[in-house]
Structure 1
Amino acid sequence: MTTTTATVPTPDETARTASATPPVSVRRKWTEHGLMFVAPFFLVYGLFLLWPLVFGVGMSLTDDNITGSGGQFIGFDNYVEALGDSNVWSSLWNTVWFTVLSTVPLVVMGLVFALLAHHLRWVQWLWRLTWFAPFLLPSGVVSLLFMWVIYPSDFGFADQLLAEFGLHPGIGWLTDTRYAMLSIVLTTVWWTVGFNFLLYLAALQSIPQHLYEAAELDGANGWQRLTRITLPMLRRTTGVVLVLQVLASLKVFDQIYIMTSGGPDNSTRPILQYVYQTGFTGYRIGYASAVSYIFFALIVIVSLVQLRLSRRSGEESR
């Protein structure tokens, strides 16, 4: 039988081998850091987001025109003009007013529907389908559908329903300044409440059941379990829903442009529609860029404030 004797390296040989082997960090290639996998994303991100952002800032400092004329550097003249433009402020007010009117019912209704679906488990799939299905529809389809419903004549479903109850039909849902914005808000709420509904429903299903069982053993009724357990546990989800909803409402354009084109008397025209009209109808690309960056600054400020408030509420709930 042959016996194999293991050779133990001396300390000098071990030291020479360690010095001859390069460190692991030196031998790593750039592909081992994952750069090869994220490089396409960075390329697309820089090409379609960062470059247009920088290019738009430069354009806002010129009198560039869509016809090709102009393009001379004028500094901050566009921004000064925009801050003194009454159309900018009225459009901005319409955007803020739409955000206020739509955010409150979208958050409250999303929470209420989620609570109902969470307790009515035997029809939960029907609730999900009913409230989330409209969210999958394009904005054009939803706008045209509601235009048919509230069409101000005998053809409109809403007026026919009012006539059945003996009420006066023929209300200018989209042509009267008293009802136009409310009609658009109603359309938006029906269309997008399903997204908030699913966020709340997922959060409700993640609440530990033993909290409710312990509260029930302590004699807590349904209202106490809702206010002491459910709503505090949903505080973070409510913060996320508020941030997403406010940002989405501030960027409103599609349904207003289709349903009213900003009318009547520009009472529903949002700031993005004014940017579109100034740039592509009035041909003032430089000025439209300045207005859009003022609006962008407003969105950034609102986002930072909401983020700060959500962090503070999260720290207080700990």
Structure 2
Amino acid sequence: MKVEASADRIQARKRGARAGQRWGNALFILPFLVVYLLMLVIPLFKGIWISLLEVDMLSNSADFVGLDNYVELFSDEIFIGAVLNTFYFVLISTPVFIALGLALALALNRPGRTGATLRAIFFGSSVLSVTIVTLVWKLVLMPHHGMLANITESVGLPSLSLLTSETWALPTIAVVTVWWIIGLPMMLFLAALQQIPREIYEAAALDNASRWRTLWSITLPSIRRTVALVAIIEVILQFQLFGQAQLMTQGGPNNSSRPIVQFIYEAGFRNWELGYAAAASQVLFAMMLVAMAFQVWLSSRKQAY
């Protein structure tokens, strides 16, 4: 009996120790959980509630209108154009980020001062503010007086006005965006490439594998998770296009470069239609969720095969 009582006390102590450890672990994540709830979860549900209201900012009153804001959104030609512009921007910029970031990482994945210097140069533009980047590029793209105009005129070509063209305004913003933040995907790919064991490449070299064969059979399969990560990150970031379009074209010409975030900004802070802007922001959130889910599903299928 004494042995059984002693065993029961030992088990009780172990259960108490495990319970104390669980509470200790919970205390470690408590600060993050509090910040997450205050900064993300509560504002998300607050935004959903505001999207169901018609808010008068001047009289500080709000009337419940249900889904009227959403119905009005999808009959608003400017909003539909902003949605199409945003999808178009994501489609033309995200593949470039992946392909160019990987190409730069492959080219600069080597020891020495030259590689380190070039990595610093390519990553350096990422630390610049959007104001500086757009100011520099507006000077470059200035019709008749900018650097691009001087180059085209020196070879006998007419001056290009890319930012005032409905066809080329958004692709030009995409080029500027890629130039600005290509350093992030490049560094992510570099980190993934440096995790691949060198012995695998040495074995491929002994088998006389070509560079393309090594790339397709060793490098890309080894970094497929990083490719999926970069794709998800860039989709999320490019759906939030705002500063470049606002500062370079102000959504023009003829709304051809207006993204959803700029539409939300104008509805909320220029027209003071807070409920309308909140509804547009919920649509943007849903679009980002769908795009992310599709990307995760696509990457999981590739890994399965």
Q: TM-score, normalised by structure 1?
A: 0.88
Picking from 149, 153, 162, the partner of 1:159 is 149
1:220 is aligned to 209
Matched, 1:281 2:270: yes
Structure 1 equivalent of residue 90 of structure 2: 99
| Residues in 1 aligned to 2:239 and 2:9: alpha-carbon distance in whole angstroms | 62
Q: Is the 8 A contact 1:95 1:270 kept in 2?
A: yes
How many Å separate the matches in 1 of 2:193 and 2:112? 13
Q: Hey, what does 1:180 align to over in structure 2?
A: 169
Instruction: Write the distance in 2 (CA, Å) between the matches of 1:71 and 1:83.
Output: 22
- Specify every segment of 5 or more residues in structure 2 that has no aligned partner in the other structure, as ranges: none
Q: Deviations over 1:94-152 (max 9, x none)?
A: 11111111112211111111111125755210121111110111111111111111112
Matching residue within 98, 117, 128 for 1:126: 117
Q: Cα offset for 1:166?
A: 2.5
SS in 1 for 2:205: helix
Q: 1:106 to 1:16 in 2, by over 3 A?
A: closer
Secondary structure of 1:225 counterpart: helix
SS in 2 for 1:71: strand
Percent identity, aligned pairs only? 34
For the residues of structure 2 that align with 1:223 and 1:215, how far apart are their CA atoms? 11
Structure 2: which amino acid aligns with 1:176?
S
Equivalent position to 2:39, from 48, 51, 58: 48
Matched residue type, 1:235: R
Q: Report the Cα distance in structure 1 between the residues aligned to 2:215 and 2:4, rounded to whole angstroms.
A: 68
Compare 67-76 and 140-149 and name the one that shifted more.
Answer: 67-76
Secondary structure of the residue aligned to 1:90 is: helix
- Partner of 1:63, secondary structure, is strand
SS of corresponding position for 1:174 = helix
Residue aligning to 1:7? none
Show the counterpart of 2:254. Answer: 265
Equivalences for 1:1-318 in 2 at 5 Å?
Answer: 12=2, 15=5, 18-19=8-9, 22-26=12-16, 29=20, 32-68=23-59, 70-119=61-110, 121=112, 123-154=114-145, 156-169=146-159, 171-316=160-305
In 2, Cα distance between equivalents of 1:38 and 1:61: 33
Could you give the per-residue CA deviations for residues 72-103 of structure 1, whole angstroms, max 9, x where no partner exists?
Answer: 11111111221222221100001111111111
Closer, same or farther in 2 for the Cα pair 1:75/1:13, shift >3 Å?
same
Q: Which secondary structure state, in structure 2, belongs to the residue aligned with residue 67 of structure 1?
A: coil
Q: Kindly tell me the number of residue pairs found equivalent between the two proteins.
A: 304
Q: Take 2:168 and 2:7, find their aligned partners in 1: how far apart are those partners?
A: 83
Residue type of the partner of 2:206?
L
- 2:36, 2:212 → 1: CA distance? 48
- What SS is found at the alignment partner of 2:46? helix
- TM-score between both structures, scaled by the size of structure 2: 0.92
1:228 Cα shift?
2.0
2:242 touches 2:262 (CA, 8 Å); kept in 1? yes
Q: Which runs of 5+ in 1 are unaligned?
A: 1-10
Counterpart of 2:200 in structure 1: which amino acid? L
* 1:61 to partner: Cα distance: 0.9
Q: Which stretch of structure 1 is more off in the superposition, 91-100 or 36-45?
A: 36-45
Q: Secondary structure at the match of 1:147?
A: helix
CA distance in 1, matches of 2:279, 2:204: 56
Q: Is the 8 A contact 1:103 1:245 kept in 2?
A: yes
Q: Which moved more, 1:251-260 or 1:200-209?
A: 200-209
The 2-side partners of 1:32 and 1:73 are apart by 42
Query: Are 1:133 and 1:194, in contact at CA under 8 Å, matched by a contact in 2?
Result: yes
